Amino acid sequence: MTDLRGPGGSDMVQGTDEVGSTTGHKKLERGVNEVTRVAVAKYGLLAMLAIEIVVFLILAPDTFGTTANVSNILASQAILMIVTLGLTIPVLAGEFDVSVAHNLGFSMVLVGYLTVLHGWPLLPALVACVLAGALIGLINAVLVVKVGINSFIATIGVGTVLAGLTVQLSGTNVIPGLPEPLVKASSAEFLGLPLPVFYGLGLALILWVVYEWTPVGRRIMFVGAGREAARLAGVNVVRIRGGAFVASGVIASLAGLTLAGQFGASDPLIGSSYLLPAFAGAFLGATTIKPGRPNAWGTVIALYVLTVGVTGLQLLGAGPWVQDVFNGGALIVGVTIARLAARRDGQGAAL
């Protein structure tokens, strides 16, 4: 029988077992590290939201944890949630739509211009506003997809034109007295929260289904990851990119109509204030749930991370400046992390 002991009398079989055990431990450690990395990447922002809530509950227990403040936090993001979720569509397709905020403002003023100043019935006015949003998206699509202008430049131009048209329609004046049905549909409450909160969550659910479970959603992601590869695979890249702009335009116009109903008036100056928070929410949302690309529930989480942080700091005495600093910082962090994640996964074109 062959002697399995080594020169020093050690058992070579035992040595082999020890080596195998060490290798197994290393593999297990690598596996645990990978699981941890994935968990942090997917749910780190959600954990940050939880930490924010706990910290502000401790530091401002008499103001932050009140029912009124919680309701205000949830309600304050409803319109922004709608417009930001719409923005995720072109961003996911690899484009920018900087016109969304001015589209929102234009729609808000247009409904007042038609119904209050010119006596249109509400339903035709609403249809006209939505069609205007679709037309704005179509103009963006033609400039970017057909003409070949950079989406950032093209949509800045379109947004600037909309800002001018908004002032022209309103004369820089607030238009009060919007139709009561629009006001009720935008300000009535359900379960103690304004209906727009549920509109935003409903839109998040719809986009989640589209992004994760439909061929259209997969094609949008494919185009965002690499247009040429998508084209070679048989995807109609032109249609997907153009459709993303149109969808974004329609959703922005719906957000404007909802905001007008909440105010009961058309304010020509408020639309632009939604631009930075919308981009901050879209890109920060791309760092969670589906790291490296915008997604519906990541966007919702990101928006509440932003508003909880800003609200908590203001309750602790921070001035109005904190909102711009917080949103701007979040945008930088979100874009950086999303870009690095996209490069790691070989999807650099997506963001």
**Non-local CB neighbours of 91 within 8 Å, separated by 6+ positions:** 97, 224, 282, 283, 286, 294, 351
Query: Which has more confidence, 46 or 137?
Result: 137
Computed over every residue of the chain, the mean pLDDT equals 85
pTM above 0.95, yes or no: no
- SS3 call for 346: coil
Parse the chain into domains and list their residue ranges: 45-350
pLDDT at residue number 145: 95
**Of 83, 96, 110, 129, which Cα lies nearest the Cα of 252?**
83
**Span 52-58, average pLDDT:** 90
Nearest to 294 by CA among 221, 214, 242: 221
**Alpha helices (H) in the chain, listed in sequence order:** 12-59, 67-76, 78-92, 100-112, 122-141, 151-170, 180-187, 195-213, 215-225, 227-232, 237-263, 275-285, 296-315, 321-344
Instruction: Write the pLDDT tens digit of every residue in 206-229.
Output: 999 999 999 999 999 999 888 989
Q: What is the pLDDT of residue 348?
A: 43
- Nearest alpha-carbon partner for 314 in 61, 133, 56: 56
**Class level of CATH domain 45-350:** mainly alpha
CA nearest to 196, candidates 112, 104, 127, 119: 104
Q: What is the pLDDT of residues 232-265, one digit of tens each?
A: 888 999 999 999 999 999 999 999 999 999 999 9
Q: Rounded to an integer, what distance in angstroms lies between the CA atom of residue 7 and that of residue 5?
A: 7
Higher pLDDT residue, 32 or 118?
A: 118
Res 193 pLDDT > 60:
yes
